[in-house]
A and B are shown apart, each in its own frame.
Chain A
Amino acid sequence: MKILVAVKRVIDYNVQIRVKEDGSGVVTDNVKMSTNPPDDNAIEEAVKIKESGKAKEVIAVSVGEEKAQDTVRKALAVGADRGILVKVDGIVEPLAVSKILQKIVEKEKPDLVFMGKQAIDDDCNQTGQMLAALLNWPQATFASKINVKDKSLEVTREVDEGLETIEVNVPAIVTCDLRLNEPRYASLPNIMKAKKKPIEQLSASDLGVDTKPRIEQIKVEEPPKRKAGIKVASVEELVQKLKNEAKVI
């Protein structure tokens, strides 16, 4: 079995983002970038399946600017066998990303495609489902447990009401939740080894995919600030304030 894992380079989850003064977006210069957190879970799961002997190869693919190579390299350092970088500058919407991934899937013919359930920058939560639609493959979204069977996967999904279990035929797309596993850290020797692993470089136009955005981002602004609150000295004062000032209890 062959597993393709899509990884995205995003602003690190610990960074307090700043909106650009001209409203054109958020500041990304000199800001720490990392792998989108649930994409780390996707890579981890693929590598674990390979280690269990059920998969032969794990390929990491990223769509983004030149520097997204670092994100692919990091996936190689935790166990992916080879990488693919599809270079695109500027905003690429999930629809375009899914079309690019469709081309990669047609070329590489993986049995499974894993990725994070949502990117923490645009918070779209679309790419996996869109890719599943374009390929006419089943989708198992928000996965917190994956059981690999002969020709199918049993996947536990985190849904609003609790947990749902579905079975999907292989080939399939799985989008991963943060609770799927505990991503490992790359060891220094593995980081060194990853430098020798191949990364194929492609561009969206090589693949014949139009990445022109369909959605115009008119402006980006900061959310309204909450007015500063107060500290109360005791539980009695808290209850009194909630009752008589805020009038919520």
Chain B
Amino acid sequence: MSVLLIAEHNNKELKPFTLNAISAASKVNEEVHVLVLGSNSDSVAKAVSEIPNVKKVIHINNPLYENYLAENYTSVIIRLSKDYSHIMCSANTFGKNLMPRVAALLDISQVSDITKVISEDTFLRPIYAGNAFATVKSSDKIKCVTIRPTSFDPAPTSGGSAEILNEEVGDSSDLSKFIKKEEIKSDRPELGTARVVISGGRGMQSGENFKLITAVADKLNAAIGASRAAVDAGYITNDHQVGQTGKVVVPDLYIAVGISGAIQHLAGMKESKVIVAINKDGEAPIFSVADYGLEADLFDALPKFLEELNKLNTIQK
């Protein structure tokens, strides 16, 4: 009984959601082994070995793994799978892309996007955009599970000293080829892990107007989110989308500006601790989940909001 957890990283640093996935894996079984597939990725393997929850790091360092392609990742995972009762990773675009390819080859019915570990074979997961929760029990010999990262606290990053094992490279596939990644660099906190998120919707009316959101985000050290409508309209890039098919966020404070609150958007933010809605339509569904609703024109309210924040002596960061 041990868990094989697949790490997500950029060959230099571990992606933060892997820490959340590791803490979920520890709830299944304390024997958590982390697989790092990378190229010149020694720093990642070392960082993983220092996570106290991790009992063993399996590191395969090969140019084949420089870019993440599920086709190249799978053969190694299949080869290692026989020693494990669970194969897990985070349910973000990384894990969603990878895990089903592994599960199908092992003839396993995957459990996606769990929000709670009930026992080693039973999990809680949202369905219908989080409008229902299903308790599901897997009867497969190996459990392939993806984890909703925001439902688990991140594992601590220091204090551990797990052994790092170097394993042989897996099969190379020429089925697919990486071409490029357009990564949007930002000094802001990551949307998935930020303490405060401020999101804009169709009500923003233009990409230019998002500067009102940016100004408040700067003040609150917040990440910037958006509804699907705002992304579809081209106001802001897709990596900001919050919702059923975008990102799920659970910040301490979520501020929805000019967002009506379609079921699909609520799915991505309604677990936030405190929700603020600013919308001029008093009937907008977003108010049904908001702790504090302000019925106002956002073009008046946002500058005033910033002004009031500026008057405060201290602001939590």
Contact = CB atoms under 8 A, between A and B. Distances in A.
B305 A221 contact: no
B76 to A, nearest CB: 14
A230 interface: yes
B192 interface: yes
A144 interface: yes
Given A222-B132, A238-B276, A238-B294, A215 B177 contact: no
A215 B305 contact: no
B239 A95 contact: no
A185 interface: no
A111 interface: no
A173 to B, nearest CB: 10
Nearest to B115: A223
B274 A242 contact: yes
Contacts of B177: 166-168
Interface string A199-233: 00000000000000111111111110010011110
Contacts of A138: 71, 173, 175-176
A241 B253 CA distance: 12
Interface residues of A, number: 83
A231 B275 CA distance: 12
A161 B289 contact: no
A119 B272 CA distance: 24
A220 B134 contact: yes
A140 B176 contact: yes
Interface in A159-199: 159-169, 172, 177-179
B103 A126 contact: yes
Contacts of A19: 132
Interface string B160-200: 00000000000001111111111110000000100010000
B290 interface: yes
Contacts of A235: 294, 296, 301, 304-305, 307-308
Contacts of B290: 229
B303 to A, nearest CB: 9
B129 A162 contact: no
Contacts of A123: 112-113, 126-129, 244
B51 interface: no
A95 B108 contact: yes
Given A13-B263, A216-B137, A235-B305, A242 B253 contact: yes
B107 interface: yes
Interface string B221-255: 00000001001100001110000110100001100
B299 interface: no
11 contacts: A117-B245, A163-B182, A168-B177, A218-B134, A219-B135, A220-B132, A221-B135, A223-B133, A230-B291, A231-B293, A249-B316
Interface of A: 11, 13-14, 16-17, 19, 26, 38, 93-96, 98, 117-118, 120-134, 136-142, 144, 154, 157-169, 172, 177-179, 213-223, 226, 229-232, 234-236, 238-239, 241-243, 246, 248-249
The 9 closest A-B pairs by CB, nearest first: A129-B100, A138-B175, A130-B104, A214-B109, A133-B104, A126-B100, A229-B291, A138-B176, A239-B308
